[in-house]
Amino acid sequence: MRQQHDRVPAAQPRLCPATSPPSATTASRATTASPATTARAQSAVADVDCGPITAANGQKLRVVAKGSAAGVAGCTEAIDVLTVYFQRGSEGQGTAHVLTVQGWRCSTIDNGVTNEVLTGCEKSGLTIAAVNG
């Protein structure tokens, strides 16, 4: 008959041979990432050049799907949305010609400093733009 002090200890979890437990220094470093570092890691999705497009005024532009923490828009959708926006932009509201196209909120602004016209659309954290190119 076994006495209580003879009890066999419960099995301890084993570490993979190539793994060792993190040191206190490593653990503290892992939990002290700055918000800027975290934001960069989350927005590490690269911009995608989707190709050329012609604006309503005949200007040749490039469609860019901007990378963000939400991901990146597909090029076909980006080109389709901006094409419709350029065709219907005069229907937009205000001096920025704000218009919703296929769920995307699009607008065009003249930044006034470099005489560059900026056209872009946003939807669910994604951004597409028509840029000089």
Contacts of 79 (CB under 8 A, 6+ apart): 50, 51, 53, 63
Q: List, for residues 79-91, the tens digit of each pLDDT value.
A: 999 999 999 988 9
Q: Which two tokens stand for residue 109?
A: 């602004």
d(CA 61, CA 45): 22
48-89 per-position pLDDT tens digit = 999 999 988 888 999 999 999 999 999 999 999 999 999 998
pTM: 0.65
